[in-house]
Amino acid sequence: MKIGFIGTGKIASSVVTGICNSKISFKKILVSPRNKSMAQNLKKKFSKVIIAKSNQEIVNLSDWVFLSITPSVGEKIIKDLKFKANQTVISFISTISLTQLKKAIKVKAKIIRAIPLPPISLKKGPVPICPPNKKVKDFFNKIGTTIEIKNEKSSINFWSTSGMMAPFYEFLNIMTNWLIKRGVKRNNAQKYITSLFLALSEDAVANSKKNLKYLVKESQTPKGLNEQGVKELSKAGFYKSLEKTLNSIHRRLNK
């Protein structure tokens, strides 16, 4: 199978890295010349990556075409590309709907929307796909955890929560800087904070069949530090504001 990427930015680089370090069987990965330095980096790192001459060349030579451009670029360029009916087109574009994609692609290709996130380069993380598709599901399961979504409207809910990656890292950053201000060396501070949150996340995954509220409860000792932490943050409106921000990201995606 030949795989093509139109748009070689952050998410395309992460997915290509994940694929090249996985057991996925493929012949070649074609990436677009833009972004030039990212495309060259990928070609240097992975022998099966080729830089195509144009977006149309990628479409002509690939069985699966990934659209990894921003919405404004997508609106401009997709309609002018000539796709084939036997192709699978997987769009990472946040705000172009399946109906709009079908209209721009014109031929009866299989069109799927997917939401991979940067940790896919480590072969980790959820990948919601819509509509469900067995081959695409199996593919992403080799570099992450596929979540099939039947209804496109519901996929927007997943998109909204993916807007919490940078806020999460900022949370870790603030705690690390807090330790540093108290005289802890950056190395130790970052090691402590990142391994603490890795352990908590792994524990949360291990317990993900239970309602997460039990983890919130189980990690508090009556009158202990965690009880104080969750109570004070709730009182300060921290969690309410998290929900408010999710709502506002959701509104933006629904426009």
Ligand X SMILES: NC(=O)c1ccc[n+]([C@@H]2O[C@H](COP(=O)([O-])OP(=O)(O)OC[C@H]3O[C@@H](n4cnc5c(N)ncnc54)[C@H](OP(=O)(O)O)[C@@H]3O)[C@@H](O)[C@H]2O)c1
- Contacting positions for ligand X (CB under 6 A): 6-12, 32, 34-35, 38, 55, 68-71, 73, 77, 92-94, 115-118
Q: Which is nearer to ligand X, 143 or 189 (CB)?
A: 143
Q: Which is nearer to ligand X, 96 or 193 (CB)?
A: 96
Sheet containing strand 126-130, edge to edge, reads 49-51, 28-31, 2-6, 64-67, 88-91, 110-114, 126-130, 145-148
Q: Which is nearer to ligand X, 126 or 131 (CB)?
A: 126
Q: Which is nearer to ligand X, 10 or 251 (CB)?
A: 10
- The residues, ordered by sequence, that sit 6+ positions from 66 with a Cβ below 8 Å of its Cβ are 3, 4, 5, 6, 12, 15, 90, 91, 92
CB of 32 to ligand X, least distance (A): 4
Cis peptide before 132 (omega within 30 of 0): no
Q: Which residue is nearest to ligand X (CB)?
A: 9
User: Hunting for tokens 């969690």 — which residue is that?
Assistant: 239
CB of 75 to ligand X, least distance (A): 11
CB of 208 to ligand X, least distance (A): 22
CB of 95 to ligand X, least distance (A): 7
Q: Which is nearer to ligand X, 10 or 186 (CB)?
A: 10
**Which amino acid is present at 17?**
T
CB of 21 to ligand X, least distance (A): 18
Q: Which is nearer to ligand X, 71 or 237 (CB)?
A: 71
CB of 38 to ligand X, least distance (A): 6
Please check whether residue 23 is in contact with residue 142, taking contact to mean a CB–CB distance below 8 angstroms.
yes
Taking the CB of residue 36, how many other CB atoms lie within 10 A of it? 11
